[in-house]
Structure 1
């Protein structure tokens, strides 16, 4: 981007700040969706200038909306705009310590609210559930970011996989994720398994959105009791494998193994799958 383009972007942001700041309370819920649609059209038309300006407006709107949210929601907004894992972890530490005003990497002052790590993890999980139970995932990047935030916040709470605060009511394991995980653990850890995970996290193969969803073939929720190679016991078609639910399933299975003092090769394999999945989601997210 040359200097003129950079100046234009700043000018648009300043103008957007002024207009949006006055009218953010009057915005309809579909405004962000409309912006997303316009950004997609600009991308399809290969109009980089229009796309950039629309993205500036979207970021400004989201920034204003975030400031009106509870502290833990504000933190999620900040984390979604923090690409480096180490920076997110530092931000979470400061949030858990009560927040405050800190200097960012580019030297600007950033106000970080204090918030509860459990609230952050649960809020991210709620947002994930909303996105993942849809027939089509609207934003894979945002989805990946939310998964990372949930997992990193949970990890920082210190209770590990068996921490009861991480038990969010998943009493039965979802069919699609169980089937996919069964396929993975049947293979030796390596490039083949990593490629399978990456494809699914990107919305391909077992993770692909199905066009049948438009005809109402999906359940609109999770179907459990799946066993690899068998049809659904309910006769209903489950949702595809979703990143957040997949990691939740891996954690549940690992928790069961550790609770039974039966750790070994399978546990090591599952931990490898968990780690590689997070690495892949980091690549997708940013």
Structure 2
């Protein structure tokens, strides 16, 4: 009678191989230890064990790749994910742009200029300039009007002092960088060239309702790059110059206060802005 070799305990061997599948799958084939000693193995046993190792390795790789019991795109993560792993639900979520609030504090005891304030609250021109001699309260009036207009521009208010009457006026490139940072652009992502900053700035404001306030402009040159192009944005500018060459701007001239609020408009309300 032919003597049969005892059948190995396959469930136990399968359990051992499955628990070791992670380490086996991660090691090269030549580094996997032989499951049976050289003297005791047979071709039948060796083939079965080799197939089991290969199968467990494939299962391990499928689990690690998320194709068999592992996390799939769109799965909800419970608890805090591991460091360096971003939940798939957040990976493609649109970034929320910040809402800048850069207006200086409003003057609580502001009085006078009732006619001017009423006109500023009703005007719909994209660019409005207030120009006159120093000491007539242009900045205080503009800041107060900007606070009154905040509800019309819920996406934010940007403010910059251009220092046009000082020895060293601010460069438009610097102001653009200041605005882009306030709009959520990372410092390392700021464009280097002025033209690229203008494009990025106007792109961010294209579909938003933002009020831009520019104080103390020397002339039209530093103002032009800072004027938003969005149809729902507005820009308020103060200057000692009338800024007659600023395209699409409506100009208000303020005389010195003489006890009676007064307003002189270069063109009557309702007419188109005066050409450049």
TM-score by length of 1: 0.24
Greater Rg over alpha carbons, structure: 2
Q: Which has the higher helix share?
A: 1
Q: Which has the higher strand share?
A: 2
